[in-house]
Structures are given as structure tokens and as C-alpha cells.
Amino acid sequence: MGQIVKRETVLADGRDLIYFDDADTTLGAERKADARSLDARPATATMRQDPLTGEWISIAAARQNRVFLPPADQDPLAPATANNPSEVPDQYDVAVFENRSPSFGPDLSEHYSLDELSAIGLGRTLPSIGRCEVVCFSPETQGSFGSQNRSRARTVIEAWADRTSALSALPGIRQVFPFENRGEQIGVTLHHPHGQIYSYPYITPRTQRLLDSVERFDGDLFQSILDFERGSERMLLAGKHWTAYVPFAARWPIEVHMLPNRHVPDFAGTTAEERDELAGMYLRLLRAIDGLYDTPTPYIAAWHQAPVDVGRDEIRLMLQITSPRRAADKLKYLAGSEAAMGAWIGDVLPEQTAARIREALEKVAEPS
């Protein structure tokens, strides 16, 4: 088997397109150019500050007209054909490109200070600088990360690491967030197996709260969590480099966390051996979650990474998989307490969820 190869090019409107070829790829080195005539990219969106919370909301109106559940022969993430001039002009294994209708970017001309971002005022606006990328896991028109083979999963992980490093180095970027939305119940608008990477000009609200917890905790928070969960009945998988478990205070009916066994702030800091093990463990975990019911489970798979310039010695790379599915035909909807007050009420004991996922894991073969 060879090595994963990265090939960089640009789309017709100047957006970056990057191919990552599997280590066992059957594709050649050449790729067709993008032959489309495209309109100019939309202007960078504007962030507005909510003075009640200090949070910034990006008003990205260009996203309102994005493609919604197209038929397979018009899939904008599939390799282009004569009848489907898609976003990817040629065959690929994994493809990463700048989103055509981004929530942040493409402008990167400014850099906001912490004081500028944290000050509170009325009518405050700032350009939504940053970058949003789409990560196509496969040229197939149906599927998810969990439906890929181990070689392809490893290629996607390599792409996450590469893009985390590159995006973190861009001016004005404070945090990089790879994620996958799966299922129409989550709000997915394309069935194509893909994820996204958001690069924010600020530290996200969830991470700001985490930084506060790190400061108030007596000791190494992430190592302590790992030690605590390893000794619990919520444990799911323990590898040489990674550990997966259902968290003690799970919010969602299905919620799984995974941590590296050593301190690593983001994907860029992982070793080849850690990425190799993750490819198999992550696939097995997602397939077990799908095995809980007769139909695929909707989820958000969120890779929380340390901010670019703070908390890197304290915040550890962490996967959080959450699903609203509380039964075969029932979903958890955020009611008043959760949606309005942020005060969560769990529907299922985390220990029961862990037991069910362990049973499902026993039926999942080691990914090949």
C-alpha cells in the first residue's frame, strides 16, 4: 500500500479544491479542470452581537438559496458529468473545497482582538471573516462516514489533520471545527457522504464555557474525565490511543464521547499511529450506533478542538456524537427548558445507553 497523496487546485471562481487520494487509490494523478462559468462569490456575511449574551450571530443570507435534497443525478458533491456540472470536476477519493455559500468568509483581511469581541454594545456588527470548507468522504451519492472502508476513513482523518493545520494558520482564525451532520432529522440538505469544517474568527460559546471550567477545576480536567470514565459502566471502547464512552451527564438519548489517551489539542497534533487506530475505532463506533435500530440513526459528530491561541495545554481534542433518537420512531425535541433556558433534562439513563451500545458493538466486525 502506498501513501495518502494531497493534490491542490482551484475551481472556476477561484475557490480552493484539494484532492486527497487513498493510500490504495486506483485513480491517476491528473484531474480535469473546472470548466464552469460561475458567478462571483457572495459577499462576506456580517456578524451581529447579541448584547444579552455577548454571542456573535453570523447573518449569512446567501445560504438561503443553497441546494435542498436534490436527486442523485444532480448531486452537487458527486464527480461532474455532462449533465451535472457539480462542485468537483473529476473523479476523487476524498475532496475538500471552499463552500460556495459560506457562513464565514471568504474575507480574511481583519483580525479581531479578544477585547473587541468581548465588549458589549447595541447594534454592534463585524464582518464574518473566516472560512468554511466541505469535506466529501466519497464520490458515492449516498452514505456517511460510517459507510466508508477503513482506508477511506483514514484518508478523511488525514484531510482533517491537514486542513486543521492549514486553517489554523490563516489570519484572524481563532478556532477550527470539523463535523458531520447525518440524517434529514438533523437538517441535512444533501444525502452525499460529507462533512464540513468551520473556521471561526472568535472562540465559540461552548469552548468559552469549557475554558471557564478548565480554570475552575483542580487538576487536569480532561485526564481526570478520562480516568473517571474508564472506571465506569459507561465505557464502550478502549484502544492503545483512544477511549470511547457515554458521558456521566449525557444530554441526549444517544451521546458518545471519544478522547485521545494523551494530551493532543487538535487533529494536527495526532501521530500516524493515532490516526490509524482512530480510523477503525471510529467506524466501529458509528456502525454500532446505526445497529441500535433497523434504520440509520441521525446524529451530529462534532470534533471539538482547542482554540488556535489559548488553552492549548489544557483543552484536548474530543469527539462528541449526539443523536436525538430516543426510540425507533421517536425523537427528542428541545422543549422550553432546553431551548429557552439551556437547562437540560435527560430522557435515558446514560448507563442504559452505554449497555445498549456495547451490545451493538459486539455485533460489529473489525472494519476492513
Catalytic residues: 194
Distances (CA, A) of 97 to 9, 11, 65, 84: 10, 9, 19, 17
Do β-strands 46-49 and 56-59 pair in parallel, antiparallel, or remain unpaired? antiparallel
Q: How far is Cα 298 from Cα 291, in angstroms, rounded to an integer?
A: 12
- Cβ pair 196, 178 in contact under 8 A: yes
Largest CA distance in the chain: 61
Instruction: Give the residue among 196, 202, 177 at the shortest CA–CA distance from 110.
Output: 202
Instruction: Give the residue among 313, 355, 349, 354 at the shortest CA–CA distance from 223.
Output: 313
Instruction: Write b or e for each residue in 168-203: b if 16 or more Cβ atoms lie within 10 A of its Cβ, otherwise e.
Output: beeebbbbbbbbbbbbeeeebebbbbbbbbbbbbbb
Instruction: Write b or e for each residue in 276-292: b if 16 or more Cβ atoms lie within 10 A of its Cβ, otherwise e.
Output: ebbbbbbbbbbbbbbbb
Sort 330 into a burial class: Cβ within 10 Å, 0-12 / 13-18 / 19+.
Answer: exposed
- Cβ pair 283, 152 in contact under 8 A: no
Q: How far is Cα 213 from Cα 359, in angstroms, rounded to an integer?
A: 33
Helices (H) and strands (E) in the chain, counts: 7, 16
Q: In the chain, which ranges are continuous DSSP H helix?
A: 114-118, 150-168, 205-216, 221-230, 272-290, 336-341, 350-362
